[in-house]
Structure 1
Amino acid sequence: MSAPLTSAAVDALRALTPGTRATTHFNHAGASLPSAATLEAIEAHLRHEAAAGPMEAGVAARAQTERARTLAAQLLNAAPAEIALTTGNSPGWGAAFAALPRWQPGDRILVARHEWGGNLAAMRLHAQRAGASIEAIPSDDSGAADPQALEAMLDERVRLVALTWLPANGGLINPAAAIGQVTRRHGIPYFIDAAQAVGQLPVDVAALGCDVLTGPGRKALRGPRGTGLLYVRKDFLPRLTPAWADTHSAPLGADGEPVLRADAARFESAEAAKALHCGLANALQEALEIGLDAIRARIDATAQALRAQLAAIPGVSVLDQGRERSGLVAFDLAGHDPLDVQRRLAAQGISIGSNGVSYTPLDMNARGLGQIARASVSYLTTEAEIDKLLDSLRALARRR
């Protein structure tokens, strides 16, 4: 177990994070604030490119790419060969999905009600062409995906179970490991979109039982935008044929035929942004040094305090479901459009998110939600920042 994040430790981390001096940030679920060291790692490589040439600097940066891969494997309890470095969560998830064998009429895809809209778009395009179907797993009384209900839905036509672990529209945490136990028993491929989980709570792909897991660098990891992690279980990799290839992912052999890499890097490109890999490696190192158990504990305590204080404001409804919750806090302020709330807070130097139906369409429609405001916290979030947010919301509430 890593040492708890004390107020003094958080103050020290904030002092190394330039953005904390410029904004009151409650949009960590969109993208978090990078450290000065992560910025310097990126800038140092760009300066090297300018001085020596991008191709030459890229050769020197290969060690940082492999460092990022090794650190990502450590973060996820995977092997480095099971990790591809991508340009973001959706590109990694979409590449793995597109690499599955061709869909057939009658095939079924089962998803939790909270599936990310971008993943649904990719699945629907393939399903519509093939005559496959996408069906929602029922939720339990807490709003989370129900593993027992999933098991009751299974038959020989189910070819994929996909789960967004921590939904984008609120604090619910789905029972990813329990669902993995079901998919393992039945030998069904299992994809986890861990966009909000990676860097926010411990992630162990062996315990989760997943075949594919994705996450971005820009959210809880505090890495650069344009980076991501794609885990593919070693024994599952031969079942995936990438939709495209280049000289990095499938170099031509002596006979002129492409030879797919035998590791997850078959999902990478020769056109990788090496500067971003340098920044990602630093961000991963920082997260591991702090400790994911300490990060999870700090975020959970902060989010619980924020929910309780939001609920005490007249006119505010906290919209989070689930028995276990994340650092995403969804709410509504009566009489105020969530997008207007977001704009008014931004004018005061406070950033929050605002999600519409397209982000999580199945869940938003099932709950009759059109738009929600979302305040997401980090281990960097302080009581003073919470007080500032709450004071601004109280002032808005009085303007109804």
Structure 2
Amino acid sequence: MKANESLADALGEAGLTQAELAEAVNDYLRSLGRAGTVSDRTVRHWLTGKTRWPHPRQREALEAVFGCTAEELGFAPPAGRRSPHRTEDPVRRRNFLTAATGTTAAVVPLVAARPYAVGTTDVIRLRSGLDALTALDDAKGGHEALERAALAGAAEALELQKRAASQRIRQRLFSVAADYTKAAAWSLLDAGSARRAIGYLDRALCLAGMAQDSVAELGVWNLYAMAARQQQDYTQAVSAAQAALATRITRRDPLFASLAHGRTAVGQSHLQDRQGALRSLGHAEEALAKAPEGTPRPAWMDFYGLAELLALTAVVRDYIGDAAGAEAASHRALAAIPQQFRRNRAMVTLQLALAQLHQRDIDQACGTTEKVFALMDGTPLPGRMRSFLGDFHRDLITLSPDASTAREWKDRYRSEWSQT
């Protein structure tokens, strides 16, 4: 008897327990007017391989929950039997986004309200749309279409919670709404609009509280810390990062604790609290070393790991006056950043240029910034990146106002980063 690894992988990716999958399948069956009799034991039989080919209605429900065929979930019909041919997609799902001209996201109109109670299947469908937003952000960064799509997702989650089948489903929908609202806030932060983002963060924190979701709460406090830093309120940035550190999830999963410690270190470095910043970085490194691999986590957390901690280390080192340490950390971060995080790579490259500039390596620093524009070629620079380039330009003319390299950089790039 061979375990069904495909189903186990799908279960982990969806972040569902065996009991929650049973609940989702039963929700779907009841929506068709059928009895929902799937139990934890049924799911266990699917996972262990004891049941290799579920009943037809159960297969249909599984396909609806996961958005793929039973065969793709690792099930196989008995020898001599073929899976029935389907003339249409059995999966009653929809994506939130469609690609238009390769870059712009558009929200698909909401479907008509369904007569049955909202259950786990709906939660998974909404989560899938949230993952699509995260992928779009990774590729393009914050922009207006992403903000609109995120707000539409939050609105649908809040509308569906009115017909939730149970209080548990209602809380999960509040959690989804919090994550969508947080995504809208992040889009504004990446565009450099911290003041507008704070309104969304206030709403997201309220929704996370109603959901009793400490992961969502940590995510909101993390963005609060970033918003405060954009507004140069570094005391509040430290307070927000410490609020993230106080959430329950940091005691259960060291990876989240590491992020909160790292964000605290950044705020402390801006306050010139050298010892506090280095201490927080040490805590972040210790927590990261303890974080187990393979633990299911939300897609928005995919950005955090060794590469991101090294990037935060570079920021901290530069602000406490250790430009050489910042340069070394930037090089290590660039070697570790996954390829899909193009914008993150561009931001760390720019941090590297600043570290080189602060060591008076003017020519090398200006040459490094060329890689930033090459990395972002074909994509408008997010407002946060343009602001960072403005910091580089100001430091460049302060440290070397008469150098020919500085004048050439200004002539070549100023219009590009200030108007893109």
After TM superposition, the score normalised by the length of structure 1 is 0.29
Ranked by relative contact order (alpha carbons within 8 Å, sequence separation 6 or more), the top structure is 1
Greater percentage in strand:
1
Greater helix fraction, Structure 1 or Structure 2: 2
TM-score with structure 2 length normalisation? 0.27
